[in-house]
Every structure is written in C-alpha cells, then in structure tokens.
Amino acid sequence: MLKLITPATVKGDVRITVPGQVDPERIRVEYVYQRASEHDRWRDEVNRKLAAGTPVPELLHPVIKGWDGVLDQDGKPIELTFAALQELTDLFPAAAGELYRGFTAVLTESRAGN
C-alpha cells in the first residue's frame, strides 16, 4: 500500500570518486526531502547560481542534513559542517556533482534497503 506521506529527510548511498583510486568510496548521505516541484525549483536555482559563480558547497549544504562514512586521517568520523563539505568538494573534485546527482537519485529511484 502506498501512503501519501512526506518524510522530513531521505537517505541514500553516494559513491565519491577518489583521484587515482580505481573504486569510488561510498558514503551515506541524509538529504532534506523535497517534493518533485520543490526539487525542480531547487535544481533551476542551483543552475542559475552556478552560472553566477556561487560556490557549490553553498548550494548543497542547505539540502544535506548529515552523512556517515566521512572520516579524518585518523579514521574518526567527521560531522557534516559547511567547512567539512567545502573540504570534501575541494579534495575530491567529482564529489560536488556526485552529491548533487545523489540527491536527485534518492528522491527519484527506489533502492533496496532505503
């Protein structure tokens, strides 16, 4: 049975490309839930702001509420902060696009265990 409910957040796995590494690393990301119409407006806004030079972390941070699997060099978990998101997207150039696409995927694709 399909219930018409609106969850506050949705979680999904995002594969982050690591330069020089064959296989990507997987992190679990918690995103703010958006209805289809909200997500369409958000994507349009992101495209406009990117064209105007807005840094990607400023666009992603409001829709990412948390993550698991992001560790410091000692193997300790790093909590999501704006600075941590900036560092992630700076260290791993493909990460911004992967997080963006991960958001759309978690809203539009069914996944086992999601």
DSSP state of 61: G
State residue 114's pLDDT score. 45
Instruction: Transcribe 31-47 into DSSP letters.
Output: EE---HHHHHHHHHHHH
Beta bridge partner(s), residue 31:
10, 64
Tens-digit pLDDT string for the chain (114 aa): 888 888 899 999 999 999 999 999 999 999 999 999 999 999 999 999 999 999 999 999 999 999 999 999 999 999 999 999 999 999 999 999 999 999 999 999 876 554
Domain boundaries, the chain: 9-108
**How many other CB atoms sit within 10 Å of the CB of residue 55?**
14
What are the structure tokens assigned to 76, written together? Answer: 């300790």
Q: Which has the closest alpha carbon to 98: 42, 27, 47?
A: 27
